[in-house]
Amino acid sequence: MYGFEAMTFNIHGGYLEAIVRGHRAGLLTPADYNNLCQCETLDDIKMHLSATEYGPYLQNEPSPLHTTTIVEKCTLKLVDEYKHMLCQATEPLSTFLEYITYGHMIDNVVLIVTGTLHERDVQELLEKCHPLGMFDSIATLAVAQNMRELYRLVLVDTPLAPYFSECITSEDLDDMNIEIMRNTLYKAYLEDFYKFCQKLGGATAEIMSDLLAFEADRRAVNITINSIGTELTRDDRRKLYSNFGLLYPYGHEELAVCEDIDQVRGTMEKYPPYQSIFSKLSYGESQMLDKAFYEEEVKRLCLAFEQQFHYGVFFAYMRLREQEIRNLMWISECVAQNQKSRVHDSVVFIF
Amino acid sequence: MEKFVDNLSPMDLMRSEKMKLVQLIIPVESAHRAVSYLGELGLLQFRDLNAEKSPFQRTFVNQVKRCGEMSRKLRFFKDQIIKAGILSSIHPVVEPDVELEELEIQLAEHEHELIEMNSNSEKLRQTYNELLEFKIVLIKAGSFLVSSDNHTVAEERELSENVHSNHSYDEASSLIEQEMGTADQPGLRFISGIICKSKALRFERMLFRATRGNMLFNQAPAGEEIMDPLSAVKAEKTVFVVFFSGEQARKKILKICEAFGANCYPVPEDFSKQRQITREVSSRLSELEVTLDAGIRHQNKALTSIGYHLTQWMSMVRREKAVYDTLNMLNFDVTKKCLVGEGWCPVFAKAKIQDALQRATVDSNSQVGIIFHVMDAVESPPTYFRTNHFTNAYQEIVDAYGVARYQEANPAVYTVITFPFLFAVMFGDWGHGICLLLGALVLIARESRLSTQACVQTYHV
């Protein structure tokens, strides 16, 4: 019953909620970001990070550091925390935690299939995959030549199997089809996740539907902007939009017919929550759109922690940590390439 | 308040020792030595005067980085020693202290040497493991092939029967015709190899799906744990042989083998050739073993010599890092070339501290002495209890709940009696009591021996 979660949540979820809130308190603070932005070399970054929670993961790296090493070790920390939480979780929470990683699985599948298309080595591709989205038979994706084989050989065993019914065609895989496949899979995943959260009910349903709706709308806008000028037809574009969210269904109608960014802006400004995002951009500019969306997402994720006794904190924590790793990657790249003036272009502060 | 406190009679463990705020002005050349002697005394708590500065704005940041780098190298050596399975000696060699810079150079040399040795032996080891796997595949797969040779024709018929019963007619029949047409060699071909036991079931399933069931999979466990050539991890492995027909199927099967990390080795069908190749492989294996053994012995010698000094080096580097961390807390006055520090010390220790500072000045041949004088403090001093070996345990238990404020009554005095009493009340029976008593007597009897081992903390009680 909504409003009475305090009576029963802690029986199964109390320990993990405490753990996740502890992790959340360990995210980098503004003082940390301030110091990191002032670093001159990657060694300084490593030294500063060794005073934070990333210390044990970075302390054994020998001195000439690469940005990829830093990012890899920080991701390793996230993966360790996730695995600890997953093995301690009981039923609805363990399924919920697994849902969080399906997005990464989809990304990994697409990465390997694209890489195989361009004749890359399988082991090299496996190293680039995100560790949260790994599953057992992922390496055999390299054998498949079209989508039906892809499904029949490998994906039927994975949790992604139910998302495939809408996008099986007999065509061979090429770049365009792979992108469409990725977006179709992601759409099915978001809708499934949404339904699952609705079934859980209570505070989880409310908070997660808000977060997932934002995600769906953001993807709709990104799909629209990325497909302007390509050969994707309007109907195809409409099929890639999810069936929920603030923009459903009228916003999608309008977005489907947009032909350039200003039209997109015109459509989005009719919705008050997104008006503030688009008002930050001047006309004709789209590079800052990503950063604006990230900032809005971070704001909403932080708000999820204000309420207790729901599963949204786990989702919010994973996303916030990923954003932090993105920040670290950007800062390390700027420092490594001596372009510290551009550091604040893409760093989103999490407070 | 101060007057009242000063006029109290000394109460030993019941109340904190009287503390004073002192200021030290240390010339630069004797700074390091002074701080390390003070550290050995352990009676002065420095205040961090550079609290607003970030870690890399402090004065001695480079030295701290060097210590960090050295401790990383020492951890690497420790890992290597554990991996090589060498037991560290109980009584390490105690040599006179080495200077930090020399130690740094030595450590760099050792690390370089170890990394070189590791890379050399790795290639050899990889070849050795591959040959070992090849030999096992030859032996086990040989037994499959002996039986299969006689039954090739019968199996072909069996295979086509299987196909007809498992799948729909149209798909299967067209597939068979297609493959018969494009096969380079008539009849069954096979691929043999070795794969981790944990992956074997999935591997088989994947092969089944990829070839639509037109294959025969035989496997036999390898019998012993083998080290995988690429990942250098010991695992239980299974030898497998896949029979199939057609070029398409062969390409798919090879790709799947690569994806699962299964190593394929060609096994000749002829029995006598098998025996010949097995003999060749065995002789090469024994040669490689000799070379590898020599390499391992050399590496173990180097690691043992490092191992003698390892504990001493580790404690040295830790001490140096602590000294530089403390030096970072002091205020560096550039104009007068001295370091200013503030700290708390108990009143009874004043003489000892001054003595240590005096020694530091003399040992570093400094012209200027270290200035040490008492200051007035606004805030309340930290608490310090003088405990001995026995009362230290109770003091730690009480401190875990909260440290008493300055000149507050110390609960630890009472816990010396109440804690064992309540513990006993909880247990409440003879049997447990006797067991605990015997355990405690054993620990006390072995106290001296146990305290020299690495796990000193756990046995403190």
Residue A272 has pLDDT above 60, yes or no: yes
Decide if the complex's ipTM is over 0.95. Answer: no
Which of B58, B251, B255, B328 to substitute to test the interface with A, most A CBs within 10 Å?
B255
Give chain B's radius of gyration (CA, Å).
36
**Which residue's entry shows tokens 């405690």?**
B440
**pLDDT (tens digit per residue) in A35-69:** 888 888 888 888 888 888 888 888 888 878 889 99
Arithmetic mean of pLDDT, B427-448: 88
Q: Give the confidence band of B177 by pLDDT, cuts at 50, 70, 90.
A: very low
Which of A140, A145, A149 to substitute to test the interface with B, most B CBs within 10 Å?
A140
The verdict on B51 touching A (C-beta cutoff 8 Å) is: no
Arithmetic mean of pLDDT, A322-343: 89
Q: Give the confidence band of B257 by pLDDT, cuts at 50, 70, 90.
A: confident
pLDDT value of position B5: 65
d(CA A61, CA B76): 10
The verdict on A134 touching B (C-beta cutoff 8 Å) is: no
A43/B65 Cβ within 8 A: yes
Residue B181 has pLDDT above 80, yes or no: no
What's chain A's average pLDDT?
87
pLDDT value of position B460: 39
Q: Give the confidence band of A214 by pLDDT, cuts at 50, 70, 90.
A: very high
pLDDT value of position B149: 57
C-alpha distances in Å from residue A155, one per residue of A100, A302, B201: 18, 34, 16
Arithmetic mean of pLDDT, B379-388: 88
**pLDDT (tens digit per residue) in B130-171:** 888 888 888 888 777 776 555 554 444 444 444 444 444 444
Give contacts of B209 with chain A, Cβ < 8 Å.
Answer: 152-153
Q: Give the confidence band of B231 by pLDDT, cuts at 50, 70, 90.
A: confident
The verdict on B318 touching A (C-beta cutoff 8 Å) is: no
Q: Which of B69, B75, B206 sits opposite A140 (nearest CB)?
A: B206
pLDDT value of position B93: 61
Which of B57, B80, B206 to substitute to test the interface with A, most A CBs within 10 Å?
B206
d(CA A124, CA A126): 5
B252/A140 Cβ within 8 A: no
d(CA B25, CA B41): 18
Give contacts of A44 with chain B, Cβ < 8 Å.
Answer: 56
3-state secondary structure chain A: CCCCHHHHHHHHHHHHHHHHHHHHHCCCCHHHHHHHHCCCCHHHHHHHHCCCCCHHHHCCCCCCCCHHHHHHHHHHHHHHHHHHHHHHCCHHHHHHHHHHHHHHHHHHHHHHHHHHHCCCCHHHHHHHCCHHHCCHHHHHHHHCCEHHHHHHHCHHHCCCHHHHCCCCCCCECCHHHHHHHHHHHHHHHHHHHHHHHHHHCHHHHHHHHHHHHHHHHHHHHHHHHHCCCCCCCHHHHHHCCCCCCCCCCHHHHHHHCCCCHHHHHHHHCCCHHHHHHHHCCCCCCCHHHHHHHHHHHHHHHHHHCCCCCCCHHHHHHHHHHHHHHHHHHHHHHHHHCCCHHHHHHCCCCCC
Q: Which amino acid does the sequence have at B213? A: G
The verdict on B258 touching A (C-beta cutoff 8 Å) is: yes
B209/A143 Cβ within 8 A: no
B255/A139 Cβ within 8 A: no
3-state secondary structure chain B: CHHHHHCCCCCHHHCCCCEEEEEEEEEHHHHHHHHHHHHHHCCCEECCCCCCCCHHHCCCHHHHHHHHHHHHHHHHHHHHHHHHCCCCCCCCCCCCCCCHHHHHHHHHHHHHHHHHHHHHHHHHHHHHHHHHHHHHHHHHHHHHHHHHHHCHHHHHHHHHHHHHHHCCHHHHHHHHHHHHHHCCCCCCEEEEEEEEHHHHHHHHHHHHHHCCCCCEEEEEEEEEEEECCCCCCEEEEEEEEEEECCHHHHHHHHHHHHHHCCEECCCCCCHHHHHHHHHHHHHHHHHHHHHHHHHHHHHHHHHHHHHHHHHHHHHHHHHHHHHHHHHHHCEEECCCCEEEEEEEEEHHHHHHHHHHHHHHHHHCCCCCCCEEEEECCCCCCCCCCCCCHHHHHHHHHHHHHCCCCCCCCCCHHHHHHHHHHHHHHHHCCHHHHHHHHHHHHHHHHCHHHHHCCCCCHHHCC
Residue A116 has pLDDT above 60, yes or no: yes
Other Cβ atoms closer than 10 A to B195: 24
pLDDT value of position A323: 93
Pairing of strands B338-346, B189-196: unpaired
Give contacts of A119 with chain B, Cβ < 8 Å.
Answer: none
Q: Which of B61, B209, B259 sits opposite A139 (nearest CB)?
A: B259
Q: Give the confidence band of B94 by pLDDT, cuts at 50, 70, 90.
A: low
Judged by CB atoms within 8 Å, which residues 7-36 of A form the interface with B? 35
Up-side HSE of residue A156: CA atoms within 13 Å toward CB? 14
pLDDT value of position A199: 93
Quote the percentage of chain A above a pLDDT of 70: 96
B69/A59 Cβ within 8 A: no
Q: Which of A131, A130, A192 is nearest to A160 (CA)?
A: A192
Phi, psi dihedrals of residue B83, rounded to the nearest 5°: -65, -35
A35/B206 Cβ within 8 A: no
The verdict on A143 touching B (C-beta cutoff 8 Å) is: yes
Give first-to-last CA distance, chain A, whole Å: 31
Quote the percentage of chain B above a pLDDT of 70: 84
Give contacts of B75 with chain A, Cβ < 8 Å.
Answer: 60
Q: Give the confidence band of B186 by pLDDT, cuts at 50, 70, 90.
A: low
Quote the percentage of chain A above a pLDDT of 90: 36
Residue A34 has pLDDT above 80, yes or no: yes
Lowest mean pLDDT among A115-129, A280-294, B24-38, B329-343: A280-294
**Smallest Cα distance from B114 to chain A, Å:** 14
Q: Which of B55, B61, B210 sits opposite A153 (nearest CB)?
A: B210
d(CA A181, CA A189): 12
Which of A34, A65, A137 to substitute to test the interface with B, most B CBs within 10 Å?
A137
pLDDT value of position B2: 66
Residue B216 has pLDDT above 90, yes or no: no
Give the residue with greater pLDDT, A323 vs B459: A323
Asked if residue A227 lies in contact with residue A170, where contact means CB atoms within 8 angstroms, the answer is: no
A139/B68 Cβ within 8 A: no
| Single pTM value for the model | 0.80
**pLDDT (tens digit per residue) in A179-205:** 888 999 999 999 999 999 999 988 999
**pLDDT (tens digit per residue) in A6-21:** 888 999 999 999 999 9
Judged by CB atoms within 8 Å, which residues 65-104 of A form the interface with B? none
